[in-house]
Amino acid sequence: MSLLEVEDLAVHFPITRGVVINRTVGHVYAVDGVSLSIERGETYGLVGESGCGKSTLGRAILKLTEPTRGAVRFDGTDIAGLKGEELRRQRRRFQMVFQDPMSSLDPRQSVESLLAEGMKAHGLTGGHARLQELVDAVGLPKGALRRYPHEFSGGQRQRIGIARALCVEPDLIVADEPVSALDVSVQAQVLNLLSRLQRELGLTYLVIAHDLAVVRHVSDRVGVMYLGGIVEEAPATELYTDPQHPYTKALLSAVPVPDPESEDQRERILLAGDLPSPAAPPAGCRFHTRCPWRHKERCASERPELRQLEGAAPGHRVACHFAEDIRAGLIQPHAVDATMVDEAAILDIDAPEHATSVTDILGR
Ligand SMILES: Nc1ncnc2c1ncn2[C@@H]1O[C@H](COP(=O)(O)OP(=O)(O)OP(=O)(O)O)[C@@H](O)[C@H]1O
Ligand code: SF4
Ligand SMILES: [Mg+2]
C-alpha cells in the first residue's frame, strides 16, 4: 500500500462580489481532479508554472485547505473524515516545510522554544539533549538552540524550518519551494540535507517547485501540473529525457542545456498565448488553447485522462488524447492562434454594466 493516495482531489475557491450581500459569481479552479500516489521512502516532485495549483494541492493533502471533492488516504486512513483528536494524531505524521522560513518561524522565540513548542503541540516532550541532536542533524552551528531566527542566514533558517518539521518524527514531508528563496550555492546544500535525512530517517517527500532543475535532482518521480491538473507523470530521468505531453515538451524545451552543440540543435517549442485564468479554465483539454498538436474538435470538448502511455516505461502517464500519435510522429505540430476564453460568459456576471474581468475580481 502506498503511504499517500490522492484520488480525484479538487479545491475550488469561490469568487464573491457584493458589499452587503456576498454573491458567488464563479470559482477559481485551483486544483481540479488530481490523482496521485507516493510510495514510502519516495520523493515525488511536483512542477508547474506559477498559479497552476501546486501549493493548494500540497495544502489540501495536509488538510490545511478543505478540499471541494476527492479523497486523501494516508497510510490507508481517509484524512477527509478525520476530526479532533484523531486528526491531530495523524497530523503529526505529515509536516510542511515552507518557502520562506522567516514567515513560518515566530521571531520572538529561540530555536529551542520553537522546537519544543512544535513537539508539545503533538503531545511530545523533548529534553535539551534531544533538541541538540535535532539541530546537529540539520547542520546548525553550536549554540543554535539559544539563538533567535533573525540571527541566522537564509540557508540556516531553512534548516531550522526542517528541524521544526522533523521534531515530531513525521512520515511525510511536503516541502513547498524549499529552496526558492535561497542563493544557488546554498540551494544544493539544503537539497543534499533533505536527501541525507530521507535516507537516514526513511522519510517520504512531496517536493514542490517551479524550477525544473530543483525537482530533477531530488525526485524519484515527477508530476507536471497545468491549470489544476497533472498532465504528465513519470520516473524523473524518463520525464526529463523523454517528455511526451506537449506542455512538458514546451517547458523542457525552454531550459538551456550546458553542452553548446546540443544547445544549438535544441528544438524550442514556443507556446502561443498566456496561461489562461484558473477561474475560467478552457473546456476539454485545459492545454488546447496553446497546444501546437491540438485537434480542433476533440481537444476542445473532451478532457483527457491521465493514463499509462502505450509503449512507454511503466508509470509514464500522460493526459493527452493523441500522445501515442504524437510520439510516433503521425501528427505534426502546427501554428496556434491563442484563443481567448470568455471569462464573463463563464462567471455569472451580467454584462455589460458589470463587465468586471476575472483579473479585477482577483485583484491582479
Ligand atoms: N485562499 C485562496 N482563495 C482564493 N484563491 C486562491 C487561494 N489560494 C490560492 N488561490 C488561487 O488558486 C490558484 C492556484 O494557486 P497556488 O498558490 O496553488 O499556485 P502555485 O502553483 O503554488 O503558484 P506559485 O508557483 O506562484 O506558488 C491561483 O490562481 C491563486 O490565485
Ligand atoms: S489532448 Fe489535444 S490539446 Fe491536449 S495536449 Fe493532447 S493534443 Fe494537445
Ligand atoms: Mg506555490
pLDDT in single tens digits along all 364 residues of the chain: 899 999 999 999 999 888 888 889 999 999 999 999 999 999 999 999 999 999 999 999 999 999 999 999 999 999 888 888 888 888 899 999 988 877 888 899 999 999 999 898 888 887 888 899 999 999 999 899 999 999 999 999 999 999 999 999 999 999 999 999 898 889 999 999 999 999 999 999 999 998 888 899 899 999 999 999 999 999 999 999 999 999 999 998 877 766 777 667 667 777 777 889 999 999 999 999 999 999 989 999 999 999 999 999 999 999 999 999 999 999 988 877 766 665 665 565 554 443 334 333 333 3
Closest approach atom of ligand 2 to CA 295: 2
Q: Candidates 230, 271, 293: which one to mutate for ligand 2, based on the most atoms within 8 Å of Cβ?
A: 293
What grid cell was written down for 250?
A: 514546451
Nearest CA to ligand 2 atom 1: 320
Q: Candidates 11, 27, 28, 179: which one to mutate for ligand 1, based on the most atoms within 8 Å of Cβ?
A: 28
- Is the CB of residue 101 below 6 angstroms from any atom belonging to ligand 1? no
Cβ-Cβ contacts under 8 Å for 29 (sequence gap 6 or more): 10, 12, 227, 228, 278, 279, 281
317 alpha carbon to ligand 2 midpoint, in Å?
Answer: 14
What does 153-182 look like in DSSP terms, one character per residue? Answer: -HHHHHHHHHHHHHTT--SEEEEESTTTTS
Nearest CA to ligand 1 atom 5: 13
Residues listed for the chain: 364
144 alpha carbon to ligand 2 midpoint, in Å?
Answer: 52
229 alpha carbon to ligand 1 midpoint, in Å?
Answer: 13
208 alpha carbon to ligand 1 midpoint, in Å?
Answer: 13
Nearest CA to ligand 2 atom 5: 320
206 to each of 36, 39, 175, how far by Cα in Å?
Answer: 11, 11, 6
In 3-state terms, what secondary structure has residue 204? Answer: strand
Side chain identity, residue 123:
G
- Residue 37's Cβ-count burial label (10 Å; 0-12, 13-18, 19+) is middle
- Distance in angstroms (rounded) separating the CA atoms of residues 350 and 43: 47
- Distance in angstroms (rounded) separating the CA atoms of residues 192 and 147: 24
Ligand nearest to the CA of 57: 1
Cβ-Cβ contacts under 8 Å for 278 (sequence gap 6 or more): 28, 29, 30, 51, 52, 53, 227, 228
320 alpha carbon to ligand 2 midpoint, in Å?
Answer: 5
In 3-state terms, what secondary structure has residue 126? Answer: coil
- Distance in angstroms (rounded) separating the CA atoms of residues 276 and 281: 6
Q: Choose among 121, 113, 11: nearest CA to 72.
A: 11
Cβ-Cβ contacts under 8 Å for 37 (sequence gap 6 or more): 2, 4, 5, 6
pTM score over 0.95: no
Nearest CA to ligand 1 atom 7: 13
